[in-house]
Amino acid sequence: MSKTMSTCWFSHTKENMTDKTPPSKCPMHMLTRRSLFKAVGGLGLFAAGAASGVAAKNTSAAHGASTVAFRDKVQGGILTPQQAHTYFAAFDINTNSRDELIQILKDWTNASAEMTSGKLGDSALGLAPSRLTMTFGFGADVFSKGGKDRFGIGSQKPEALVDMPLFHGDQLIPEKTGGDISVQACSDDPQIAFHAIRQIVKLAGTKANIRWSQTAFVSGNGKETPRNLQGFKDGTQNPQASEMNQFVFVGGEGPAWFQGGTYLVTRRIRIALEHWDGMDVDYQEQVIGRHKLTGAPLGMKNEFDKADLKATNADGNLVIGEHSHLRLAAAESNGGSQILRRGYSYNDGSNFTAERWPPWRQGVEYDAGLFFVAYQKDPRDGFIRIFGNMAKFDMLNQFTTHVGSGMFAVPPGARDGEFIGQKLFA
């Protein structure tokens, strides 16, 4: 590995907590806790909260014993250096009783505070939390479903929690889309992420059930930007630590209960890897707009070099093509919009899945791809704007099919004695 591939470091062992690059140059997910402390020190309300929110307490030298504080200004799992595994569950709430919903949220909050602190319960004897975080969000149906204000909170719906538009090429499966409440468990141990969701399910009894769920992972050594299933580094272009209030967290423009919150967009994006794997690396790099080995923008040497979107080659053609993924995702192509991606790869084996592009191969295909997870201050300026553009023009669309979708209003963290979303019911 060249030195240029590891200019940002995140790790949870003291030995590796070296900062070779000023934190302001590192995308959020790459920051060490130490560098994150530095980066957000005194920056503002939510960033300061975030810093303590990601402060992991190493209770022993063992990897798995690390914990991430649950009770803080912003929820864990947003700015937390990305854990290796996730279990994401979208729940349907099977009651229209406000009191019963509040009770569920209280139970889930208490259980999450306990589990993230390492009290995992009888079902997980002998296991360790491994930086477990639990992140909750409210779907639009909690505020109003079929025109009915089920829980008396309809007037509190944040304006930007809009219906997701149908994008060019979408093939959404209803059983993998939507949901009243999202709960994302992240941990470095896949068993712990699943365990935590199982406890949540058990606590809700018949009052809530999983509508859909997704297991996913990131691989790599935990030091460099992780590579997605297409083999490219994914997450290089995330906003800087200093830009969280600008791009991720809701301020005075939102309802009072939602200040310090953020909007979560998830997409289950199948990637036709059987098709991608047949392409030359040169072509793959044209599609993405980056060099595969280094992650550098085309024409550049190092992963974090700034892309030159105007550069042309000897023939006068753009170096970073007009329909490349990098160009279409760039802030410059989207009026300055940025989102905080925290995506995972999923791999559910193989299946008979249809391709929207004229199929190049019949039969069994990989049921695998990107479980896209992104946080933003306003989805209309964030995912909807950026992906609306991509859905029409991105060369990558030849290989991708969006089969699941969710949008959730993720409230601020629950402080001591509060339950998640408490101010929504005040």
Q: Taking a C-beta distance cutoff of 8 angstroms, is the pair 420, 410 a contact? A: no
149 contacts a second copy (rule: CB under 8 A):
no
Query: Which of 82, 240, 345, 376 touches a second copy by CB under 8 A?
Result: 345
Tokens found for residue 346? 């999923």
Q: Hey, what amino acid is at 8?
A: C
Give the list of residues 6+ apart from residue 393 with CB closer than 8 angstroms, or none: 322, 323, 328
- Residue 236: name the closest of 88, 336, 343, 386 by CA: 343
Q: Which stretch binds a second copy (CB under 8 A): 45-53, 100-108, 140-148, 213-221?
A: 213-221
| 3-class secondary structure, 216 | strand
Query: Which of 96, 219, 312, 313 touches a second copy by CB under 8 A?
Result: 219
Within positions 64 to 123, which residues make up the interface with a second copy, using CB under 8 A? 64, 87, 89, 122-123
Q: How far apart are CA 217 and CA 402, in angstroms?
A: 18
126 contacts a second copy (rule: CB under 8 A):
yes
Closer to a second copy by Cβ: residue 17 or 293 = 293
Neighbours of 122 (CB within 10 A): 5
What is the contact mask toward a second copy in residues 26 to 65, using x (rule: CB under 8 A)?
------------------------------------xxx-
Q: Hey, what amino acid is at 349?
A: G
Give the list of residues 6+ apart from residue 400 with CB closer than 8 angstroms, or none: 269, 270, 271, 272, 369, 370
What is the contact mask toward a second copy in residues 168 to 207, using x (rule: CB under 8 A)?
---------------------xxxx-xx--xx-xx-----
Query: Which of 212, 383, 387, 408 touches a second copy by CB under 8 A?
Result: 212
What stretches of 72-198 adopt beta strand conformation (E)? 85-93, 133-138, 181-187
Query: Which of 152, 322, 350, 354 touches a second copy by CB under 8 A?
Result: 350
Q: Which stretch binds a second copy (CB under 8 A): 108-116, 212-220, 334-342, 385-393?
A: 212-220
Q: Hey, what amino acid is at 102?
A: I
Number of residues assigned to the chain: 426
342 contacts a second copy (rule: CB under 8 A):
no
Closer to a second copy by Cβ: residue 174 or 316 = 174
Query: Which of 41, 152, 220, 336 touches a second copy by CB under 8 A?
Result: 220
Q: How far is CA 326 from the centre of its chain?
A: 19
Query: Which of 34, 106, 227, 423 touches a second copy by CB under 8 A?
Result: 227
Query: Which of 177, 214, 236, 400 touches a second copy by CB under 8 A?
Result: 214
Neighbours of 164 (CB within 10 A): 19
Query: Which of 127, 162, 309, 331 touches a second copy by CB under 8 A?
Result: 127
**Cβ at position 225, least distance to a second copy in Å:** 10
Closer to a second copy by Cβ: residue 189 or 394 = 189
18 contacts a second copy (rule: CB under 8 A):
no
5 contacts a second copy (rule: CB under 8 A):
yes
Phi, psi of 14 (to 5 degrees): -60, -35
**Cβ at position 230, least distance to a second copy in Å:** 9
Q: How far apart are CA 137 and CA 153, in angstroms?
A: 15
Strand 340-341 versus strand 365-376 pairing type: antiparallel
Within positions 252 to 291, which residues make up the interface with a second copy, using CB under 8 A? 273-274, 277-278, 280-281
- Residue 170 burial by CB count (10 A; 0-12/13-18/19+): exposed, middle or buried? middle
Query: Which of 100, 114, 149, 348 touches a second copy by CB under 8 A?
Result: 348
Closer to a second copy by Cβ: residue 151 or 276 = 276
| 3-class secondary structure, 196 | helix
Q: How far apart are CA 93 and CA 126, in angstroms?
A: 32
**Cβ at position 248, least distance to a second copy in Å:** 27
